[in-house]
Amino acid sequence: MKEIPEHLSRMPDNTAVKQQKLPAHEVRFSAKFVLCIFFGTGAFCLCVGVILILSAKRAKKIEINYTTICANCAELRENPFNFNRECRCSIPFYLPEILEGNVHMYYKLYGFYQNLYRYIKSRSNTQLVGENIKDVKDCTPFTVSRDGTPIAPCGAIANSMFNDTIMLSYKLNSSVQVRVPMLKKGLTWWTDKYVKFQNPSLNDLPSKFAGSTKPPNWPKPVYELDKNNPDNNGFLNDDFIVWMRTAAFPTFKKLYRRLYRIHYFAQGLPAGNYTFHISYNFPVTRFGGEKSVVLSIPTWCGGGGFFLGVAYTVTGALTWMASFALMAFHLAWEKKKVTPKE
Amino acid sequence: MGWQRYRQGLEVSNHRTIYINDHLKNNFCPNWIRTAKYSKWSFLPRYLYLQFSKAANAFFLFISILQQIPDVSPTGKYTTLLPLMIILTVSGIKEIIEDYKRHMADRLVNKKTVLALESGKCKVNALADEAFLIDDAFYLCPLLALPETAGVQTEKQLLSISGKIECEGPNCHFSCFTGTLYITDRSPVPIGPDQVLLRGTQLRNTQWIIGIVIYTGFETKFMQNAVKSPLKRPKVEKVTNVQIHALFLLLLVMSLVSFVGALFWRRAHSADMWYLKRREEKSHAFGFDILVFIILYHNLIPVSLLVTLEIVKFIQAQFINWDEDMHYKENGVYAVARTSNLNEELGQVKYLFSDKTGTLTCNRMTFKKCSIAGIPYSQSSSRELNDPTLLANIKNGHPTEEYIKEFFILLCVCNTVLPERDGNNIIYQASSPDEAALVKGAKNLGFVFTMRTPYTVTIQAMGEEYTFEILNILEFSSNRKRMSIIVRTPTGQLRLYCKGADTVIYERLSKDSLFMEETLTHLKLFATEGLRTLCVAYADLSEEQYQHWLMDYKSASIVLQNRIQRLEECYDTIEKTTHHMIYQNCQDLGNMLGKENDLALIIDGETLKYAMGIGIKTDFLNLALSCRAVLCCRLSPLQKAEIVDMVKKNVRAITLAIGDGANDVGMIQRAHVGVGISGNEGMQATNNSDYAIAQFSYLEKLLLVHGTWNYFRVTKCILYCFYKNVVLYIIGLWFTFVNGFSGQVLFDNWCISLYNVIFTSLPPFTLGIFEQCCSQKDLLKYPQLYTISQKGKTFNARVFWIECLNALAHSFILFWFPTKMLEHDMVLQHGFTTDYLFLGNFIYTYVVVTVCLKAGLETMFWTKFSHLAIWGSIIIWFVCFTIYSHFWPTIPIAPEMAGQARMILICPYFWLGFFVVPATCLIKDIVWKSIRNTQKGSLPLNSQQLESSKAKGFEFSSVFEKR
């Protein structure tokens, strides 16, 4: 029979793809292969787990919850009308052994939901990047003040910025107290400081912020956050930037200060008596929360807890157990398979 | 759709009158056709309408609209719209390509030139009442071959004819046509289907022809038949649809739970949330808050599933089309998947209905044996009848010599075969292969059918030439099961020759017929050998008898309604007088069925009529189902369809019907899967089938290999699509537990919406296209493997929900592990603290990795594409992530993502978790799988052969894996 041209046109070229004969390796796990992998993985996980646990153990941490210690201040802040009454609180503590290394000071809030939908989206990134100071449309419910002036920085996040001041002093001897030198810069991600947050212009901040007003909760406008240090003022203020990175959980830490390692503190924080001097401004009891201050030294893998180490160890252990179980299962099955044949 | 309107409009008119040479009076519809679905302008509205009439797409459109309401959407305004647009675009492009092909085909047909005669001029490509057509031309419309009685010779004469044709209105019945030609001053002439040339037919062996156009464009029988066969929906799709609805319910439940959670949370935190300034506590209505959560969780329903499946199945269909093993080299015919949505159904067929002749057997006939006047002649060694005693009997004046000669003359005369001279050789063009076989057989024995004119038949019998005048041909039909011919023999005798099935012939024999007993014995003998048998008989007619009948016949033949019936009655009257019979038979050369019959039921059409009666239908069905094979003989097309229907309705099993002829169309359309043999007996079966193959034997590969593979591919692909969506989007639910049920999302909006479109879009394709659960060799060697897909145990509601639970477990691990890891906020080396998106990106990366590796775990057959898809997807995510977090503020999107990649990729915690989190998820899977596989080792089907053929030990082979 003659072929109709139509057939010629759809004559396939016989490639391996079209004939479904692609070279491939079929993954047929043999018992040996799976068991090897399982034992290998288990061993690896166990090792890493142990290392992590050990290094997490080395990390030192001091946390002092000052909600109850400064109960009178907390009570004062219960009433929003007391907002301009100052309240100070001192918390002495004893450091039994030296905290060696780069000591970081954090504040930690309990029960503060920075991850609420309406909270997270209440910010204006175009404003923060310094492009348009009056762009406040995303900032509900803190867009404009009562007289209609746009707020800078606008939004719930900025408005609720943590405004306690925490100072650490070291008792050199019974009479002399020195202030522990702390750095208030270098607390932020590089991109935050250099990309995400920009002042309208570095010079003459107040005029650049003209036409805007401070957030209602703030005692002073944004260009007075750190008057002495133009690199740390306005939107570029490190404390502000740190706060603006909204935490994932209702309980969170935020980096507050870094130890400036000079003089007595070149090695870290020596053992001895210390006092936290806290200017208590941030109300937490109103929403049923608490706050504390944390001193910590991050290790090579950060300063996190034991979880990852435990996870590795447990996974490793489970993998081993599973491989033993599989082996037993396999052997039993083999036996069962063999016996009826004979 | 224009043509549908035409169809409906014209269904009403039963008659049509065509005036010859007076085309102003005629009312034709334009002679163009359109099979394309869309035009340039109608594309968008029609396509969108089609797409949004699918529930899933409508749902996503609804979500996209909801997202436009300010303040409702936690995921941005366009994050559902964009993937939806991408998906609609992809499937739109597919539609355009397919429709473009149809447009091209239409254009080709519409642009075909024809010669038309109109007012004395030849016009090309115009419609006229009459048309000259050149040999081998295609006809654009059914033409009526003017009977020669018109007696025209010149063009002028042709134009001067006046008259009319009355005929039936446009309809879809190919094989019937009734009309009457009235030419002025002449007696009316009946016109039957024989005189009609349908659109698409090819004229052969004819120098020229004059025709009259009857139907045009959409009114042609061909177009009237181009009705889309009923849409068949595969079982897997049905299961999937149910699950989608269940998932939708789950979505509502989740939204409700979150909403209730939100209420409780607010009550618990009724203290002063000063940082939020909850001014409009009550402003959001109940419905409004629910909507937030519906939008939050809506991606639980995989948006890309439909389009993924469409593409996957399209390519699977191409694999069938490309398959060289299903390429019939003799006539260059490939298998054709005419629909792609039944691919996986091929792997689930439980009952197979096959037409026998021409399908199961290859319909090649040879004249094998005959019994003439009570003497059987046969030849065992050669394939064709060549019995020396037969030849000797003819030559040596055996007492039965006359009968033998009469027998062969009958074979030469009583047929509708067309002899075609090719040099010295004569080629017989026959519409049915048994006729050709008989004529060929006669030729071998010296009775050569040499020439046919409309009114004569010339044969050469033993060297002498005889011409028979044909008076009437009483055609073969499947109802009559016989054909007869009335001839005037060279000696002037009127004679009726009849040929047909043994039962119908015997019924019509006169009581004093000769050789009845002997022939019947031989008939049985031949039949038990598995030969196809036919009886032939002749009767001498007297002149008055014939004239009397002729009158009846003529009056019957010009009636428009019920002509066929009347004619058949009429035929019957004359055939009853038959009273001499001879008998012969042919053999079917096919491979007979019957390898593993424990018990087979054989039933014929007459009996079946009773068996299908109301009372005993179920009993019959049970009996039939208990047998290994059921043979139903001599069924009408309707009965075939009825049987398929009965099994389909009463047994919840997938049925497949395979056939080659027009009489199989009913069952092909009725069965879950219809397969047509594209070959000799016309295109009817093929045109109505879902798959067309050239040989019955190709069904083996189509079912065992393509069916099994496609089933596993499609089900894996579906399960995987659901899995990956559940994994990612349930995380949203976990996150609500720590964010006060506020509806905040953990990931960047665009990451969420591109998840299905980019980052995890490739693995479902490799699973759906390249996955092979078993090698082709094994599948063909161990047909038992087919039972796994046949029983559909790898995809049902249970498997689906187990997979969803598994996804739930994965999402649990994927959310809570990183959460616990980052709880301490001190994971970065310089003591920097992190934000919610940092956690989100951790989780998102782990999700992508886990989901891709899970695809790897599902993949049994790693081709280069699998590697590309799995490792590629992970790499794509990392690259996109890095680029994406550098967008802000140059490109004003994703301010929150700025700097994320930079910090995450240097975070040791991230890399530590990068190993342990996916590993924990998947180790669980591997363990689970291996245990299940080990248990499944006791499956009966794989016991011994398979073990020896494959590596010992617990197989991870997905063949046994029931998840």
> Which residues of chain A lie closer than 8 angstroms to B776, CB-CB?
20
Model pLDDT for residues B684-712, shown as the tens digit of each residue? 777 778 898 988 889 999 999 999 999 99
B200's CB contacts (< 8 A; 6+ apart) are B138, B139, B222
Chain A's closest residue to B912, CA to CA, is: A308
Length of chain A, please? 342
Task: Mark yes or no for CB contact B916/A142 under 8 Å.
Answer: no
| Of B144, B129, B136, B96, the residue nearest B112 (C-alpha) | B136
* B654-659 and B673-677 beta bridge pairing: parallel
Confidence of residue B482 (pLDDT cuts 50, 70, 90): confident
Q: How many residues does chain B have?
A: 963
Q: Is B532 annotated as a binding residue?
A: yes
Res B569: pLDDT: 54
How far is residue B531's CA from residue B436's CA, in Å, rounded to a whole number?
A: 16
pLDDT tens readout for residues B815-834 = 999 999 888 878 887 888 88
Residue B505 belongs to a domain with what CATH number? 3.40.1110
Decide if A115 and B828 are in contact by the 8 Å CB cutoff.
no
Buried b (16+ CB within 10 A) or exposed e, B624-649: beeeebbebeebebebbbbbbebbbe
B915 within domain boundaries: yes
Residue B816 counted as domain residue: yes
Select the residue from A108, A118, A257 to test the B interface by mutation, using most B Cβ atoms within 10 A: A118
> What does R_g of chain B's alpha carbons equal in angstroms?
36
Q: What tens digit of pLDDT does each residue of B276-334 get? A: 765 545 545 667 788 888 888 988 888 888 889 989 998 999 999 999 888 888 888 88
Half-sphere exposure (Cβ direction) of B289: Cα atoms closer than 13 Å: 19
> Is B274 within the bounds of a domain?
no
Residue from the list A41, A129, A325 with its beta carbon closest to the beta carbon of B919: A41
Say yes or no to pLDDT of B132 above 90: no
| Chosen domain end from B557, B579, B601 | B579
Report the run of H or E that residue A212 belongs to, with start and end: none
Greatest mean pLDDT range, A333-342, B52-61, B756-765: B756-765
Residue B117 pLDDT grade (very low, low, confident, very high; cuts 50, 70, 90): low
* Contact call for B275 and A196, based on CB within 8 A: no
Q: Residue range B616-631: average pLDDT?
A: 77
Give residue B525's pLDDT band: very low, low, confident or very high (50, 70, 90): confident
User: What distance, in Å, lies between the first and last C-alpha atoms of chain A?
Assistant: 58
Residue B889 lies in a domain: yes
Residue B744 structural domain: 712-951
Confidence of residue B595 (pLDDT cuts 50, 70, 90): very low
CB contact under 8 A, B272 and A287: yes
Q: How far apart are alpha carbons B633 and B645 in whole angstroms?
A: 17
Q: Which residue in A162, A282, A308, A324 has the most chain B C-beta atoms within 10 A of its own C-beta, making it the best mutation to test that interface?
A: A308
Q: Which of B331, B896, B950 sits opposite A28 (nearest CB)?
A: B950
Q: In A101-220, at which residue ranges do the beta strands (DSSP E only) sit?
A: 104-110, 165-171, 177-179, 182-183
Q: How many CB atoms lie within 10 A of CB B425?
A: 7
CA angle at A166 for the pair A162 and A168, rounded to the nearest 5°: 160
CA-to-CA dists, residue A120 to A195, A248, B837, angstroms: 19, 10, 11
**Residue B253: its pLDDT value, please?**
93
* Residue A17 structure tokens: 């793809």
Residues B33, B219 contacting (CB under 8 angstroms): no
State how far the Cα of B347 lies from the Cα of B425, in Å rounded to an integer. Answer: 48
Q: Which of residues 902-961 of B touch A (CB under 8 A)?
A: 902-903, 907-909, 912-913, 916, 919-920, 923, 926-927, 930-931, 934, 937, 947, 950-957
Answer yes or no: is B825 a known binding residue.
Answer: no
- Where is pLDDT greater, at B429 or B155? B429
The domain boundary, picked from B110, B135, B165, lies at B110
pLDDT of residue B935: 62
Question: How close is the nearest chain A Cα to the Cα of B938, in Å?
Answer: 8
Chain A within 8 Å of B805 (Cβ-Cβ)?
A: no
What pLDDT does A81 receive? 81
Note whether residue B247 is domain-resident.
no
DSSP letters along B872-920, please?
HHHHHHHHHHHHHTT-TTTSSS-GGGTTHHHHHHT-HHHHHHHHHHHHH
Domain boundary among B549, B579, B609: B579
Q: List Cβ<8 Å contacts ≥24 apart for B500-505.
A: B500/B476, B500/B534, B500/B535, B501/B534, B501/B535, B502/B533, B502/B534, B502/B535, B502/B583, B504/B480, B505/B535, B505/B536, B505/B537, B505/B578, B505/B581
3-state secondary structure of B437: helix
Q: Which range among A252-266, B89-103, B555-569 shows the weakest confidence by mean pLDDT?
A: B555-569
What pLDDT is attached to residue B590? 30
Q: How far apart are CA A298 and CA A6, in angstroms?
A: 73
Whether B735 and B882 share a structural domain: yes
| B104 at A interface, C-beta within 8 A | no
Nearest residue in chain B measured CA to CA from A157: B275
- CB contact, 8 Å: B17 with chain A? no
**The total number of structural domains that make up chain B:** 3
Give the pLDDT score at B142.
Answer: 45
B663 labelled binding-site residue: yes
Is residue B434 a contact partner of residue B365, using CB atoms and an 8 Å limit?
Answer: yes
- Residue B235's pLDDT band, with cuts at 50, 70 and 90, is confident
Long-range contacts of B947-952 (CB under 8 A, 24+ apart): B947/A337, B949/B778, B949/B781, B949/B782, B950/A28, B951/A28, B951/A30, B952/A30
Among B residues 312-331, those touching chain A with beta carbons less than 8 Å apart: 318-319, 321-324, 330-331
**pLDDT, position B637:** 77
Q: What is the pLDDT of residue B559?
A: 57
B463 in contact with A, Cβ within 8 Å: no
- Which of the pair, B482 or A318, is modelled with greater confidence? A318
Say if residue B399 is in the same domain as residue B547: yes
Positions of B annotated as catalytic residues are 355
Whether this model's ipTM surpasses 0.85 comes out as yes
Q: Number of H helices and number of E strands within chain B?
A: 33, 29
Give A125 to chain B, closest Cα distance, Å.
7
B30 falls within a domain: no
Indicate the range of A15-29, B597-611, B644-658, B683-697 predicted with least confidence. B597-611
Where are the strands (E) in B424-572, listed by range? 425-429, 447-452, 456-461, 464-474, 482-488, 494-500, 531-541
Say yes or no for a CB contact (<8 Å) between B817 and A287: no
Tell me: do B774 and B920 sit in the same domain.
yes
- On whether residue B356 sits in a domain, the answer given is no
Q: Report the sign of the C-alpha dihedral through residues B896, B901, B905, B906, in that order.
A: negative
| End-to-end Cα distance, chain B | 47
**CA separation for the pair B520, B196 (Å, rounded):** 40
Q: HSE-up of B935 (CA within 13 Å, CB side)?
A: 8
Nearest C-alpha neighbor of B76 from the set B849, B812, B839, B897: B897
Among partner residues A3, A117, A188, which is closest to B332 by beta-carbon distance? A3
B positions 853-882 inside 8 Å of A (CB): 859-866
Q: Do B274 and A102 touch (CB under 8 A)?
A: no
Tell me the average confidence (pLDDT) per consecutive run of 10 residues in chain A, 342 residues long. 42 73 76 84 93 85 90 85 84 90 92 89 88 84 87 90 92 88 91 88 74 87 87 89 92 92 90 92 88 86 78 93 86 69 40
Contacts of B916 in chain A (CB under 8 A): 45, 48, 308, 311-312, 315
Any domain includes B599: no
CB-CB under 8 Å, A32 with B274: no
- Count the neighbouring beta carbons within 10 Å of the beta carbon of residue B811: 23
